[in-house]
Amino acid sequence: MEIMDGIDDENTFLLDDELHSDTDTDISSNYLDYSSDDSFSEFGSDEDLSSARIFTEVDVKNPPVRVLDLNFLCIQSSVAKQFSKSKFWVETTVEELHVFFALNILQGIVKKPGIDHYWSKRYSTNTPFFSKIMSHRRFCLLQRYLHFSDNAAFDPQNHECPKLVKVWPVLKHLNEKFSETVTPERDVTIDEILMLFKGRLGWKQFIPLKRARFGVKCFMLCESISGYIWSIIIYTDKDTILKPENSKLCFSSQIVLTMMEPLLHKGYCLTIDNYYSSPELADKLVSCRTDTYGTLNLKRKEVLKEMQKKKLKKGEIIAFQRGKVTVMKWMDQKKVSLLSTNSQY
């Protein structure tokens, strides 16, 4: 009971409509001048947020076309809908978008159940930093009208990836910055993730073993020791961007060689699971001075049938080697199959 003495009874319980720190009428008062140095002082002192500047460098004096398009899109929407929330719109700037993106990054550091909770006035969950920097309504308006492509200039015949046109400039920019900013250590890995999405999409995936069973599949090349994402490919079915010179290989091998291309012939060691691993891919990587190891599906081509059929007792091992490629089957509680071109593993 003594712990509760410091809590203000008036702030302990709030109705749902009292959760946010701004209303329809005070939006203009919460609109800050982000062009001033003071508005960035708290971001600049935070190491986690200031590192994000690397990925958002923009010439503030010459705003990119996308910022101007964002203002134009909102004006179009407000004309089309008389009672639209865009009546609260104030033209945005590059500086304000920097703050908007920083708040999004901060939400990945400060975990909460939903966006509304970051502007909550509840005593027990209040995070005043968010409401001090930007009002809840302003944040939601920017989030609603944020877009990265020019719909009028879109040409599906000449675009690099028509299915990802809405996010392609961002994805391309991030991939460039990811690879420019960090030179990965020797050990890297490739794996796929599923970004939760339940809407209508032609290349949406269903993987029952994943935590988010429905969604958009992404392939990521990461540094093993830190988990730093060095490259991303979003799966778009037959339109997935791959290197044409690897077209004769299976899809999973094409993914590996496309993502590893900048790191080939540099002595890297790649860890992959049985979705990607195969003797054929291992030979290709060895020819490019790149080692690999990981689990292996014994039904892959070039794997001896004896490896599949041989029944082992617990603790027994069967293996074969061809050049630098070693394939091993080991019986523990269940069979474990591995492939390696690295003598250390």
Contact residues for 303 (Cβ-Cβ < 8 A; gap 6+): 279, 296, 327
Six token digits for residue 106: 């901060």
**pLDDT more than 70, % of the chain:** 74
Residue with tokens 């971001």: 43
Residue-wise pLDDT for 249-296, tens only, equals 999 999 999 999 999 999 999 999 999 999 999 999 999 999 999 999
Task: Encode pLDDT of 194-236 as tens digits.
Answer: 888 888 888 888 878 777 788 899 999 999 999 999 999 999 9
- Do 340 and 323 form a contact (C-beta atoms < 8 A)? no
Instruction: Give me the residues of the chain with pLDDT under 50, please.
Output: 1-18, 23-31, 36-40, 44, 58-61, 63, 65, 78-80
- Name every residue whose Cβ is closer than 8 Å to that of residue 291 and which is 6 or more positions away in sequence: 268, 269, 270, 285, 324, 340, 341, 342
The pLDDT value given to residue 9:
40
Taking the model in full, what pTM does it have? 0.74
Nearest partner of 136 among 229, 21, 51, judged by Cα: 21
184 alpha-carbon distance from chain centroid: 18
Question: How far apart, in Å, are the Cα atoms of 95 and each of 29, 33, 100, 175, 301?
Answer: 18, 9, 9, 23, 55
